[in-house]
Amino acid sequence: MTAGTEFDLIVIGGGPGGYVAAIRAAQLGMRAAVVEREHLGGICLNWGCIPTKALLRTSELYRQIQEAEAFGLRVEGLGFDIERIVARSRNVAEKLSRGVAYLMKKNKIAVLDASGRLEGPGRVALTSKDGAILPSISAQHIVIATGARSRVLPGLEPDGTRIWTYKDAMVPASVPNSLLVIGSGAIGIEFASFYRALGADVTVVEAQNRILPAEDEEISKLAHMAFAKQGIRIHTGVAIEKHLDTAHSLVMHARKTDGNSIDVSADRVILAVGITGNVEGLGLDEAGIEIDNGHIVVDEWCHTGVEGLYAIGDVVGPPWLAHKAMHEGVMCVEKIAGQDDVLPLDKTNVAACTYCSPQIASLGLTERTASEAGYDIRVGRYPYAANGKATALGETDGLVKTIFDAKTGALLGAHMIGADVTELIQGFAIGKTLETTEAELIATIFPHPTLSEMMHESVLDAFGRALHI
């Protein structure tokens, strides 16, 4: 299928939200097209979620092998090859990108290698990578799924050499002796964890008063302690004021909220200060689409308010997560198709995961936000140190925390730090989506010995029934 064809649905952007929306449309009998200017799979698959996890897997193994003596193992001559580490990460991304291309072909979805721009009702103008104007395409429904990009601090524009974006940080020619990470959200902390495990001297600075500011405060505090134990220096409540580019390093001058100033010197700097939606060059203003703080404004069904125009994923705002984008893509298309049983997205049912060491995962309300929302809450906690499987694994640092409505028993939130919590959190996500109560979770039989038993014990603890602490 080529440009100039009429479709039922056009998706601008081939990232997780976009390609999934197109697949669901094809499953529902629609003739779908995806307009993608770079890589199928988008940033997540090519330069984000997937390749970073490949890098972090390497650093995790490297850390574990360094600790092998505690397990009765002798390892000699341990080292690493950063070129091969990067090559493996890129190969993983390329393999999965080819997999998305296969899915497009399997579902008979037209993939147009071009940039797209709204050109009036139901029409999308196309421009090839070399700037050539291609025939326009049309559809009754158009979904914008153009994603987002990293924010840049004025005066600290990335140069690819000393000041890195996340893309630069994923393909280093060598591991820097020293690294400054500006921003302590998931992206910043993951890179801090990766480079520290490979021996870099890492410093993290955060403008807010704690790292991982979107997480529960108790989890954030435990993470701070764990990272400091690993040798990562952390400064919170810090604003970068200026920097000096010397012959051998960058020197960042920053001021803390208490008025004190600090200077941090590093060979490389990674900017991880948030993202902004890719809203430029799409003809959004001309189409009458509202933009707020760099993101497209939509309703609960991802409709922009302009007939036939929808937007999903990172371009519509937080949470900036691939699985949230995929869910929105399916929901949006099913609503377009007129399905009666479609439910709007409940953001408190969207789990967030940070794949640093130790891992962090969360769902729903934090202890503070639940209290501020007026709930009478019950909080349960269970430490990794009390779990048999964690002890056998040698992973005794961590905590599982659960938050319940004391009146109804409804699960309001779950927050975890420790080994494999990014896999464990889905158990709570399923429960919360099904509107589970503490009684049902307490009655659930968890297998032994497993890390998942801590989830059960945390629930029991919230109601004064913990068995092993």
Active site residue ranges:
448
Tokens standing for residue 61: 């193994």
Tokens standing for residue 316: 């519509």
SS3 content of the chain, % helix, strand, coil (to 5): 35, 25, 40
Spatial separation of the C-alpha atoms in residues 384 and 395, rounded to whole Å: 7
The count of other CB atoms within 10 Å of the CB of residue 363 is 26
Burial 25-50 (b: 16+ CB within 10 A, else e): bbebebbbbbbbbebbbbbbbbbbbb
Tokens standing for residue 66: 């360094």
Burial 260-288 (b: 16+ CB within 10 A, else e): eeeebebbbbbbbbebbbbbeebebeebe
Q: How far is Cα of residue 93 from the mean position of the Cα atoms in its chain?
A: 16
Nearest to 302 by CA among 24, 2, 6, 27: 24
Write the single-letter amino acid at 316: V
Cα dihedral 374→375→376→382 (10° resolution): -130
Nearest to 147 by CA among 243, 31, 260, 47: 47
Spatial separation of the C-alpha atoms in residues 171 and 186, rounded to whole Å: 19
Residue-level length of the chain: 469
Please report where in the chains the tokens 């341990």 appear, as a residue: 78
The count of other CB atoms within 10 Å of the CB of residue 123 is 16
**Residue 424 near residue 363, CB atoms below 8 Å:** no
Tokens standing for residue 363: 């769902």
Q: Containing H/E element for 195? A: helix 186-197
Q: Containing H/E element for 325? A: helix 322-336
Quick one: how many helices (H) and strands (E) in the chain? Answer: 14, 24
Cα dihedral 29→321→230→266 (10° resolution): 110
Strands 163-164 and 268-271 turn out to be parallel
Spatial separation of the C-alpha atoms in residues 434 and 52, rounded to whole Å: 31
